[in-house]
Amino acid sequence: MKTIKMFSSVLVAALMTFNIAGATEKTTAKKPVAYKVDLAKSNTKWHAKKVTGEHFGTINISNGSLNVDGNKITGGTFEIDMNSIKCTDITDAGYNAKLVGHLKSDDFFSVEKNPKAKFVIKKVEGKGDSYNITGDLTIKGITNSITFPATVKTDAKGLNATAKIVLDRSKWDIRYGSKTFFPNIGDKMINDDFEIDLALAATK
């Protein structure tokens, strides 16, 4: 009988210890840390091609934050100021302004109606510094899921991420000069795909 009581006491004590340890583990589990995008140290470049040439430019991130668990991004969102579109390869001021105005018009990004573009991270896969990031990109009020490779490096102060993103503008109903919508457009065609080079810095 004493042996049974002693065994029962030990079992109860063990269970209590297990429950306390489990509760402590849940209480002390770390939550992802929010990192604020450093706008001054982040930049976004675009590159578009057409049959007769190509153009380069920049566009600004207006705000954003990233959720970081340990050394890994787990989520986040950022907005792009579509009014900040610039062309950097045209030196003639008049021609430069004409192109930028056209990009902001309803032929392309309808900036007056849609001044912001937004990206929301939905899934991050990978290890080390190399990841595949999937998220929802909204342009002109139209949302599509995109996936792209990124390099992410973290330290005690924050993180730096770089990515080359290829977007098909036809998915956001950007029709001007598109062979998808105008198959017989000939040498006036502007490629549907354009590239975004993203360099993102964020701090705790």
Q: Tell me the per-residue pLDDT of 125-157, one tens digit each, with 9 for 90 and over.
A: 998 899 999 999 999 999 999 999 999 998 878
Buried b (16+ CB within 10 A) or exposed e, 102-128: ebbeeebbbbeeebebbbebeebeeee
**pLDDT exceeds cutoff 50 at 115:** yes
CATH number at residue 54: 2.40.128.110
Residues 6 and 72 in one domain: no
Residues 124 and 68 in one domain: yes
Q: Tell me the per-residue pLDDT of 35-83, one tens digit each, with 9 for 90 and over.
A: 999 999 999 999 999 999 999 999 999 999 999 988 889 999 999 999 9
128 compared with 202, residue with greater pLDDT: 202
Residues 94 and 9 in one domain: no
Q: How far apart are CA 151 and CA 76, in angstroms?
A: 16
What pLDDT band is residue 30 in, cutting at 50, 70 and 90? low
Q: Which residue range(s) make up the domain with 37? A: 31-203
90 compared with 23, residue with greater pLDDT: 90
Domain count, the chain: 2
Q: Tell me the per-residue pLDDT of 165-196, one tens digit each, with 9 for 90 and over.
A: 999 999 999 999 999 999 999 999 999 999 99
